[in-house]
Structure 1
Amino acid sequence: MDTLMTVAELKNRMDSGARTVLLDVRWALGDPHGRAHFVEGHLPGAVFVDLATQLAGPADPDRGRHPLPPLEQFQQSARSWGIRNGDVVVAYDDSGNLAAARLWWMLRNSGFPGVSLLDGGLAGWSAAGYDVDSGEADAERGDVVLSDSAMPVIGAAEAATWSGRGLLLDARAGERYRGEIEPVDPRAGHIPGAISAPTTANLAADGRFLPAATLRERFTGLGVQPGLPTAVYCGSGVTAAHEIAALEIAGFPAALYPGSFSEWSNNADYPVVTGAAPEGGGSEDGTAAESSTP
């Protein structure tokens, strides 16, 4: 199934009566009110997905702020959203799919191929003039059977040496990569050898993904090549999934580092560097050197 579904394609599916499971993943860093936003307005028939409790386990310094939940727990969540084997699932949010991509990746990783992201999300749907519903929404329980490990994944040990054999992309904002700010994790900076590739640069101003050719040009400019192992991390493994979706649109496979920088920066044995260069222009403990300040 294609990574993206357009608003027009989804509307046609819904008008035709084709079974479609719509999942609303309203979440943003620092905004715990996703369900309230969902209640205010969502796509007709959509079910709310709570990223913090259904797409992640409890925060753990050894595994990161949003560690992947156990398979059985995720399967029970997927069934509570009404997913059955063979369904078509469309996930969306109101932030350019930066949160919804986490669900897209997790379903794909669980051996469920029939999942797409709604390109443009809630804003794209509303801009097209289509109605939204309000209030709570429940789904008839599904019976989907999920598996595990269908998508490539790396851990901290592999991330430590990845730049020696491939390309490691940091999907966070550039200022966090450079170590100028760090709002949530214990050390500022980036994994040595990582390339700054903010995931927001995958999107046009209207929140839709850039065309495949444009994304391919972007990633090749960062050093991505066919056959070169590529892996992605972010702060806690959420927006890195968005980068993996963009890479897939561009024709490049990539692995996810689920623990990401929140796991890495909690381990004093792992070096953190600052500055704009992959190997850093600051100190090894994440304190910016004066000469590396942009």
Structure 2
Amino acid sequence: MLIDVAELQARLTGSDAPVVLDVRWVLGDPHGAEHYRAGHIPGAVYVDLETELAGPARPGTGTGRHPLPDLAKFQDDVRRWGVTRRGGVVVYDNTGGLAAARAWWLLRWAGIPDVRILDGGLAAWLAAGHPQATGDAPSRPAGDVVLRPGQLPTLNADQAADLPRTGTLVDARAGERYRGEVEPVDPRAGHIPGAVSLPTAANLDGGRFLATAALRERFAGLRGPVGVYCGSGVTAAHEIAALAIAGIDAALYPGSWSEWSSDPGRPAGTGTGTGSGTS
């Protein structure tokens, strides 16, 4: 799931250089492309999460804020980034992988096997003394990848509702959103009844993923099968990456709370619910 700066630097100077994708995105900050132009890993291609890693949000349709993209458009985008049938991909951001993990999950879901998250992101690259490039993305030959969607498991709303009966449904949002104390974005506050709270931010220490042993300890209390949701299916992908590092497979509920809470017929839990999981 991960690659460190030293390995990435070595691969970039070798014959098997991966395509590097800059996926800087933070909720409420629409300036990811500007951050990219101000400084990025040399050769990296900027990817816009809102328009390239998600389909258009359609309020009132129950699809959530970041639905999965149209496959034909996504394949065109992936080829434009230069991804080939034989090459690997490395994704990064500057927020501990919280945005880049969406690209990691989506590319893996679409059938690209060699996708890694740069542990520590741009900050780790700069801390190691490596240079930045500025300006727009470099031109590169188009890729020839053929996407095969469905290679990672997903849940719909009904499956997410049923999962706590047979396994574990994880809410990856901040604890105060899970408890229903605040809701800055979506129609209602609270959580899917039966879900446990395991905020994604606790997967990180200083912007890097926790060690494998620490992640295994964090998730030791989960019983399978496991599903994960967040606000709109972005940071939940980070939780799925952390679970995979710990040796646990998990399904993503792409619509997440933004889809669930937009349906007035779906119940909302508040407070600590069934528990806060292991932290």
Alignment TM-score > 0.5, same fold: yes
Q: Which residue of 2 aligns with 1:12?
A: 10
Q: Is the 8 A contact 1:192 1:279 kept in 2?
A: no
Counterpart contact for 1:98–1:242, Cα < 8 Å:
yes
Aligned mates of 1:31, 1:224 — CA distance in 2: 34
3-state DSSP of counterpart to 2:21: strand
Contact 1:88–1:115 at 8 Å: present in 2 too? yes
Partners of 1:198 and 1:261 lie apart in 2 by 14
Question: In the alignment, residue 267 of structure 1 is paired with which amino acid?
Answer: D
More moved, 107-116 vs 271-280: 271-280
Q: Distance in 1 between matches of 2:94 and 2:247?
A: 25
Checking the alignment, whether the CA contact within 8 Å between 2:178 and 2:271 is kept in structure 1 is yes
Shift of 1:17: 4.1
Report if the CA contact (8 A) 2:196-2:275 is conserved. Answer: no
Distance 1:272 1:100 in 2: 29
Give the Cα–Cα distance (whole angstroms) in 1 for the partners of residues 161 and 241 of structure 2. 23
Show the counterpart of 1:236: 232
Show the counterpart of 1:144. Answer: 145
2-side partners of 1:261 and 1:69: how far apart?
18
Q: Determine helix, strand or coil for the equivalent of 1:23.
A: strand
In structure 2, the residue matched to 1:288 is none
1:246 pairs with one of 238, 242, 256 = 242
Give distance in 2, aligned partners of 1:44 and 1:277. 46
Q: Within 5 A, what are the aligned runs for 1:81-92?
A: 81-92=81-92
Contact 1:71–1:147, Cα closer than 8 Å, also in 2: no
Structure 1, residues 35-93: CA drift from partner, whole Å, max 9, x if none? 00000000000000000000001113411000001211111110110111111100000
CA contact (8 A) 1:20 1:87 kept: yes
Q: Secondary structure at the match of 1:255?
A: strand
Deviations 1:192-232 (A, max 9, x none): 00000000000012x11000110000011xx224xx10000
How far did 1:279 drift? 8.0
2:119 corresponds to 1:119 = yes
- Per-residue CA distance 1:105-144 (angstroms, 9 max, x = gap): 0110011101100000000101111101010013321111
Residue of structure 2 in register with 1:284 after alignment: none
Runs of 5+ unmatched residues, structure 2: none
Q: Percent identity?
A: 59
TM-score normalised per structure 1: 0.91
Report deviation, 1:19. 2.3
Q: How many angstroms apart in 1 are the aligned matches of 2:54 and 2:15?
A: 32
- C-alpha displacement at 1:154, in angstroms? 0.6
Cα distance in 1, alignment partners of residues 127 and 48 from structure 2 = 25
Q: Gapped runs of 5+ residues in structure 1?
A: 281-294
Question: Considering only aligned residues, what root-mean-square deviation do their CA atoms show, in Å?
Answer: 1.2
Moved over 6 A (4+): none
1:153-232 correspondence runs (5 A):
153-205=154-206, 207-220=207-220, 223-225=221-223, 228-232=224-228
Q: Which residue of 1 aligns with 2:71?
A: 71
Q: SS in structure 2 opposite 1:16?
A: coil
Instruction: Name the structure 2 match of 1:290.
Output: none
In 1, Cα distance between equivalents of 2:192 and 2:112: 31
Q: Secondary structure at the match of 1:182?
A: coil
Equivalent pair of 2:22/2:45 in contact (CA under 8 Å): yes
Residue 277 of structure 1: CA displacement?
A: 2.1
Rounded to whole Å, the distance in 1 between the matches of 2:56 and 2:18 is 30
Q: Secondary structure at the match of 1:191?
A: coil
Aligned residue among 254, 263, 270 for 1:267: 263
Q: For the residues of structure 1 that align with 2:148 and 2:136, how far apart are their CA atoms?
A: 30
TM-score, length basis structure 2: 0.96
Partner Cα separation in structure 2 for residue 178 and residue 26 of structure 1: 28
| Corresponding residue of 2:47 | 49
**Shift of the alpha carbon at 1:171?**
0.3
- Give the paired residue count: 273
Distance 1:152 1:18 in 2: 29
**C-alpha distance in 2, partners of 1:68/1:31?**
21
Is the 8 Å Cα contact of residues 273 and 279 (structure 1) preserved in structure 2?
A: no
Residues 5, 119 of structure 1: 8 Å contact kept: yes
